[in-house]
Structure formats: C-alpha cells, structure tokens
Structure 1
Amino acid sequence: MKQKSPGKELLYIKIANSLEQQISKDILKVGDKLPSIRMICRQHGVSMSTAQFAYYELEGKSLIESRPQSGYYVSNSFRKKMAMPEASRPVSTPVVKTVTDIFENAFNNASEKSFTVFSRGVPAVALLPIAKLNKGMLQAVRSLPGGGTMYEPLQGNEKLRTQVARWSFNWKGNLAEKDILTTAGCISAISYCLMALTKRGDTIAVESPCFYGILQLAQSLGLKVLELPTSPQTGVDMDSLKKIVAKTKLAACLFVSNFNNPFGSLMPEENKKAAVKLLEQYNVPLIEDDLYGDLYFGDKRPTCCKSYDESGMVLLCSSVSKTLAPAYRVGWVAPGKFMNEVMKIKLFHSLCSTPITHEVIGNFLETGRYEAHLRQLRRTLHANYLQYVRLIGESFPDGTKISRPQGGLSLWVELPKQIDSIELYNAAVSKKITFSPGRMFTLQNQFNNCMRLSYGLEWNEQTAHGLKVLGKLAKAAL
C-alpha cells in the first residue's frame, strides 16, 4: 500500500470520522448500505484512493464490512457482541422416539397468510423469480412429449441431470450426467438413500440439533438416531465422530456440511476431508444434505464432502427447494457406488419424477438465470441476517446468544435457561407469529430454551415488528 501524505491522511480520517459518527448515532444502522466509493468521491471532492482509505479505516475498526459485488455495509461487530450458542452435548445413546405434536402445529400455523412466519425455512415468494418460472413452465409444456404427461426415464430428466452435473464443478464435485438421479425434492432423495442403506433397527448418526424432517423420517423407518455433539460454527465435532465410529456399528451418517439447518454451521474443508477419509476407513456411507450450499455469504461457494469422495461412499442430496422453487419438488442425488440400490428404491416408490417442473429447472440452469437469481438472493439474505442480529440485540433479553451463519436461511437463538421456547411459541402464536422451537430439532431432552428463526422473509415493517414482539414475549417469560 502506498504511503499516505499528511494532507490526504487528514482528509480520509475526516470522512471516516463523519461516517463513524453517523453509525454511532444510529443514523446509519446495522445492515444499512454505505455510499459507493464513487459517491464518496463526488460528495467530498476526493480521489478514489482517499475514499478507499476512509473505508479501510472504518473496516479496521470493525464498523463496516464489504460484500463481494455489492458494496460496504454497517457491521454488527462494533456493537456489544452477543455470545455464540453452546455446542450441543447430546447423550451418546441412539434412540427411537416419537416427535411431539408441536411439529404438526408449527407446520400448520406456517401456512396462515396473516402470520409473520419465522418458522418457514424457505425464501419468501417476493424473493423468487416467479414470472420467469411461469414463462419456463409454458415453454416446458410446449416442448415435452405429450405436454409433460408422459413418463420420463427412471434416472430422470436428462437436461436437468446435465445441468446439475455442470453446476457441480462450482464446488469441485466434477459429476457427470450419468452420476445423478432425480427425485421429488431433497427429503425424497434422503429418504431413498436411507431406505437403500438401512433396515429397521439400524443406527444412523446425525448432527445435533438436526432438521426435524430428517428425525421424523428416521423414526418412520424404525431407525435408531445417535445425535453427535455439534458446534454452531464448525459443525459436527470431529473427535466425537472418531470415537463413535470406532465403537458403534453405524449403517450411515447423515450430515448437512454447508450451513446446517438449524445451526447454520459450516464444516471447514479440512473437516470434510477428514470425515470422508474416516468414514471410508470404517466402511460407513455418508449421506450429505447440500440443500443450502448455494446460499453462501462469502466470495466463493463452499465445497462438499462429496468433493473429496474417491470411493463412492458419499451420497450427495440436494434440490432447488430452498433457493428457487420450493413446491416444484425438484431434487437429485449423486449416490456414488450405491446408484443401483437407490434407483431401485425410486422405482418402487415413485417410478419417475415430475417431467414438467424438472424440465423448467433444467432450462433455468441452462440459460444462466439461476446464477443471476442467486446473486441477488444471497445479498438479500445476508442483509436480512444483519437486520435480525441488530433487532435481536436490541429487543431480546440479556443473555440471549445467537449463531453466526455464513450462509443458508437459519439463525439459531439460545435464550436464557429459564425460558421454555414451546411456551414462548404458544404465546407467539396468539400474536400471529411463528418460529421453530429448539425442541423440534432433537429426539432428546435438550434445546428447550432455543429457537430457529428463518431470515428468508422480506425485510419490512411487519418482519421487524414480529421480532420486536418476540423479544417482548421472551422478556415477559423471565
């Protein structure tokens, strides 16, 4: 970096101090976008380098943060930093247990149009390219044999598989069209994998907390679920995984390595490599749910465990349900060496996928519209996350802890121990607000004071009001 002259130093510090005062007085709030470098140049009559030095000064104080291809935003890190939730500590005994009625209740309330729904882990309709999808639907009806009414090959829509294979190079998957089997969404892909790999009474290992849909699926198949200690930052604890794999007969492991739901954790690359190597050593298949990998906040897409799979023991499952079209039910699995087994399960349970919606998504990927949509969606979700953090810090009880997701849709909130999040949920429903109580994400007696909030909503007055009301209800529960 070039040495700054005294005059330039005073000028850039003056600009930085002016912006710092606006931030400290909440004129510029957490999550707000700052003027562009060019705008600073025009406003203050300074050079590009002077404007950049001003922003470097603010970055050095953790007052602002840059986002790739988006600009500079007011950061949350300069505020009193809220603590990270505790790593999970489930008991090391696999269990089969019935999930409580709160799950169905939360799901049903999530469909109420008048509710502020923090419990629905999908982007709001306003954040999706509905007009383009509708146009693609008409195109698919015209191009498919019989207007999409005919069965397609068992392995699935060829265009979709080709485009998913091409997309895999973004995360070093290097898949081919023949490696992929289409499914009716990601949970269908996971279901096929579990049925192909396990039998009733077998034990599988999952992260804890774990998406409740996976827990319900496992219990419906009569499987024992062993929950592994998990960090809200780096995912499954590798030391615990090593001990469990060495002493327990596992039929499979099932991990969400990128932006776990609900923690939002991201397994580091070295952990992904180590997990693949460890499980291969013990001949334990890994079902990897990569539903959120495309929703990263950083400058590059994270790799998957599948990226390091050389033996075919990783079965990668994904879909566009959390990024593009939730109800289209377009998913896929790259089952590695288990392709034949998984394909048979698909044959027995669904025969074929839905041709029209799969053709639409294949076209959407082929034309490059998907990447353009994702760029905007990622910016919106990151901005939403920062707004949530700000309001939770202002409105929720002292001692509240929050996760630090680097992508995805889920924010994990740990409330003071004396607050029961199911009782809080019932109080929130009376105010037409829903969230996901922490108890939904485990088969054990834990996370009773926790909640998952989705930041996939539109950020508006209703969303902000909903968070403030939740904070008041939480304080009243103390």
Structure 2
Amino acid sequence: MGKSFIYLELANAIAAQITNGVLKPGDRLPSVRLLCQEHAIGMNTAKRVFLELEARSLIEARPQSGFFVSKLPYLRLPLPETSRPSVTAHNNEPEELITKVYSGMGRADLTLFSIGVPSGKLLPAAKLKKEILHATRALSGGGTEYEPLQGNLQLRRMVAVRSLAWGGNLNENDLITTGGGMNALSFCLMALGKPGDTVAMESPCYPGILQLAISLGLKVLELPTHPVTGIEIDAFKKLTPKIDLCLLVPNFNTPLGSCMPDENKEEVVRLLEKHNIPLIEDDIYGDLYFGTQRPKCCKSFDKTGNVLWCSSISKTLAPGYRLGWIAPGKYKDKLLKLKLVHSISSAAIISEAVGNFLKTGRYDTHLHHLRRTLQSNYQNYVQAIAEYFPEGTKTSRPQGGLALWVEFDKRVDTVKLYDLAMKQNISIGPGRMFTLQDQFHNCMRLCIGLPWTDEIKFKLKQLGTLAKML
C-alpha cells in the first residue's frame, strides 16, 4: 500500500483488533505521539488513523484523556456465521416469496424495512427538480431527441472524474450509460453468458440479481461469504474451474454489507484474468462508505479490461430516475451492440440533469449528509436490536451501504416472522429471498435507509417481540 494510505492500513489493523475482541470496549488506545513513534509516521498520518476509527464509531475521544474503544452495542452482538452454500450450482428460486415481499413497494402504510433504497426524505428532490428544468432548456429540442448511443457526454465525464477517488482512472470514452444498475448488469450477463453457463456470486445475494441470472438460463454458483470481508478467497480459488462468469458486489453488498479488502480484490482480478473469466463488478453502494476513504473497486486493479464495472444513482440519489453506467473494458463493442438493440438511448433529460448535479459538487454535498445519516441509523438500529431482540441475535457490521443482516436462533423462521410483521404493517426481507439454496431461514435483511424516528424504534421493538414469540 502506498505511503498516502498508511493511515488506512493502520486504522484497519486497529479496527480488526477491536472487532475481534483483542481491544475491549473502554480500553485506552496509544496516544497520537506514541503511534508516531511506534510506526515511524508523521503527526498528520497518526491523526488520520484516529479520524478514520472515529468515523467508523469504533473509538471515541475523551477530553484531556485520549482515545478509547467505544462501548457500542454492535461490539457486544456476535457476527453472523460465514455462509457455507453447496458447491453445486442451484436454481431453486424463491419466486413466490420475492413477489410477495416486493408487492409492498411504494405502499405508504407499510414500514418498508424490506426495500433497499434510501427514503425519499433523505434525497435532494427540490434541487433535482431545478436540474431537470435546467436540462430541458440546455438540451436541443428540450430533451426530446435521442442522445448518443454511448450516453450523455457530460455525465460520462463526471463519472470518469469521480473514478479517480477509487483508482479507476477512467475517461468518458470508457463508459456507457444504461437505464439503471440492473439494466447495466443485464447487458453484461447477456453479452458474456449463454444458457447453461455458470455464474459465481456471493451468498447471500440480492434477489434481483439471482432472478436475472435464472431468467437468462444461467446456473448460479453461490460462494462462501464472510459478513465483514466478503467472499472466502481460498474457497473461490477451488471453485474457479467450475465457473464461466463472475458477478460480485465487493463494496457493502446487500444483504451482508461486507467489503472485500483491497488485497482480496486484487487477487480475484488476477485469478479471473489468468483463466479468462469475465468479472462483472456491481459497485452500486461504493459511495455510501461510513469512513473517511471511499473503498477501491476490483476495476482499480484491472490491467487487461477483463472487469466490467457497473454503478448507478439508484441507491444514492434517485431510484426512480433509472440511470446507471458501465465501464465494460475490452467488452465495449459487445455492450454497445446490446444497448443499440435493447434501448437505443438513455433518457436525455435525466442524464443531463444528473451530469450537471455531479459537476456542480451538489452530489458530494448530498452524499456527505446521506453517509452520516446512514451510519447514525445503523448505530440506532443495532442499539434497538440489542435492547429488544431475542438473546443470541447476531448482526452484521457494515462499514457502508444500506443493509443490516440479522441472524436469529435456528428456531426463528423469518418467513413466518414476515407474515406476523405484516399484520403490524411492517415489511422485512426474509433470508430465504437472498439465495437459491435451502439456507438463511433464520435470517433477515433490514434496510437502514429510513429516517430514524420514535416510530421506527417502536417498529423494531415490535419486530423483536414477534421474534421472541417464535
């Protein structure tokens, strides 16, 4: 790791000691001066280490006393187990359950813990309306004409500029716009896979991706996945000969919220490169980090164009705008042909408005507030879970994103919990939705994108009471 990221390396090492229990809640950390001496670093670097750990809420500063390990409830709640799916590809899709859960989308009478998007109350709707009006004036024909096949030039430039933050070094010609994140993934799978091919994914995995793969006639091989660090590298190496494609969400995936370490991302890229297996990277949550540094992407380590990097604004700015993009690497021509056949053009007004929103810096201001809100929500959720949920409940420890994964005792069936909760106008995401195999029956996903209120706290208390009944 370069010198500019030494602080992050040290912060990660201390964070690991805290989450693994080596450092206990209330323990005092070395002073800034002592950290400088022990690791031969400057004062500014040492201060950044503590800022990073504070941003993750792992430590707290006490005036005149120094830094101490936080006494937060998630340090008491155990982590869920690493998933252990079958090494055989499956396609046992829980279609009925997925349909039932997602039928509640948009219902104002429900508390939608089940839908993984930020609440509209957390989004800059008024500012976006102004950008839409500006776009209609700026575009030829008021936005009624097709835009170029590759997409709006300003938007692609702004996405390329932002890629510098994670080491992407993209330019506008590397990118193709799409009708949202799922549309980007769909194009990638259609371009690179054929019926009968095997695609590897995390387990658990977002239901929409599983359904997409099945609809295209692909077999899904679910990978053992740790709730903090993502896919298990040793298991992945053994399974590589069985796969034709790989689709991963390395940064704050849903439902676990795991984030692959940089060395794991690089190893995956090199391994797939060696075997000429394309890697589709869904980086839709990458901007929702809780710390001070945006995580790198697998694309950061791509030297041959074998990684197709996909993202969108669906989880950060405007789910309803249906705007995404792909940096398809060496597969660009295939993706352009598919876009021409399936959609011809993205929505010109939306692309122009979002491109300008990024250009003016308003997007970064919005993200700063959204990230702080989501991190605070996560802490509040876990506090409520520690207080109201059954003894032995386990929770994930996401360092970004919108998802919190909850694992109950084996006796709690979360499909039954869903049915009971719906009678209280509460919708959750039962764990069985996130797999094609017979697993995760005692797990659920909660979306942390709802503004924290006394009502949300009460709904979590109700959920805990229902879980205890089961």
TM-score, normalised relative to structure 1: 0.85
| Counterpart Cα distance in 2 of 1:114 and 1:57 | 48
Structure 2 SS opposite 1:254: strand
- 1:148-159 map, 5 Å: 148-159=143-154
Runs of 4 or more off by more than 6 Å in structure 1? Answer: none
Equivalent residue pairs, number: 412
| Cα displacement (A) at 1:98 | 3.2
Q: Is the 8 A contact 1:232 1:404 kept in 2?
A: yes
Contact 1:96 1:222 in 2 (8 A): no
Offset, 1:258: 0.2
CA distance in 2, matches of 1:144, 1:212: 37
Deviations 1:152-211 (A, max 9, x none): 111001110000000100111000000000001111000000000001111100000010
1:385 aligns with 2:378: yes
1:443 maps to 436
Give the structure 2 partner of residue 460 of structure 1.
Answer: 453
Partner of 1:316, secondary structure, is strand
Q: Give matches, 1:289-300, under 5 Å.
A: 289-300=282-293
In the alignment, is the contact (CA less than 8 A) between 2:94 and 2:432 conserved in 1? Answer: no
Residue among 239, 246, 263 paired with 1:270: 263
Q: Residue 256 of structure 2 contacts residue 403 of structure 2 at CA under 8 Å; is this kept in 1? A: yes
In the other structure, the counterpart of 1:182 is 177
Work out the CA distance in 1 between the residues paired with 2:334 and 2:382: 45
Cα pair 2:73 2:386 within 8 Å, conserved: no
Partner of 1:76 in structure 2? 73
Tell me, yes or no, if the aligned pair for 2:61 and 2:68 is still in contact at 8 Å: no
Inter-partner Cα distance in structure 1 for 2:93 and 2:158: 39
The alpha-carbon deviation at position 56 of structure 1 amounts to 6.9
- Identity, % of aligned positions: 54
2:278 to 276, 285, 288: 285
**Structure 1: segments with no counterpart, 5+ residues:** 1-19, 21-51, 64-74
| Closer/same/farther in 2, CA of residues 53 and 233 from structure 1, 3 Å limit | closer
**1:58 offset after TM fit, Å?**
7.2
Q: Report deviation, 1:145.
A: 1.3
Question: What is the CA deviation profile of residues 107-150 of structure 1, one whole-angstrom value per residue up to 9, with x for unaligned ones?
Answer: 11132101111011111111111110000010011111111111
Distance (Å, rounded) in 2 between the aligned partners of 1:313 and 1:416: 42
Q: Does the Cα contact within 8 Å between 1:381 and 1:456 map onto a contact in 2?
A: yes
- Change beyond 3 A, Cα 1:57–1:100: farther
The residue number in structure 2 matching 1:313 is: 306
Deviation string 1:88-107 (CA, Å, 9 cap, x unpaired) is 00000012333331111111
Structure 2 CA distance, aligned partners of 1:120 and 1:99? 17
Query: Given residue 336 of structure 2, which amino acid in structure 1 is its aligned partner?
Result: M
Contact 1:264/1:409 (8 A) holds in 2: yes
- Report the counterpart of residue 124 of structure 2 in structure 1: 129
Q: Separation in 1 of the partners of 2:81 and 2:291?
A: 24
Q: 1:271 to 1:55 in 2, by over 3 A?
A: farther
Instruction: Specify which of 216, 230, 236 is matched with residue 231 of structure 2.
Output: 236
Matches of 1:240 and 1:220 in 2, distance apart? 27
Q: Which of these residues, 349, 370, 374, is aligned with residue 356 of structure 1? A: 349
CA change 1:57–1:103 in 2 (3 A) is farther
SS of residue matched to 1:459: coil
Query: Which of 457, 463, 466 in structure 2 is aligned with 1:473?
Result: 466
Q: Measure the CA separation in 1 of the matches of 2:326 and 2:454.
A: 39
SS for the counterpart of 2:268 is helix
Counterpart code for 2:70 = S
Structure 1 position 54 matched with structure 2 position 51: no
Is residue 2:427 matched to residue 1:419?
no
Provide, for residues 65-99 of structure 1, a one-character-per-residue CA deviation record: whole Å limited to 9, x for no partner: xxxxxxxxxx4357xx0100011000000123333
Corresponding residue SS for 1:101:
helix
Distance 2:286 2:69 in 1: 30
CA distance in 1, matches of 2:234, 2:97: 33
The one-letter code matched in structure 2 to 1:436 is G
Deviation at 1:53, TM superposition (A): 7.1
Please tell me whether the aligned partners of residues 110 and 434 of structure 1 are also in contact (alpha carbons under 8 angstroms): no
What is the match of residue 136 of structure 2? 141
Equivalent residue, structure 1, for 2:165: 170
CA shift, 1:57, in A, is 4.1
SS of 1:60's partner is strand
1:111 is matched with 106
> Which residue, 367, 371, 381 being the options, matches 1:374?
367
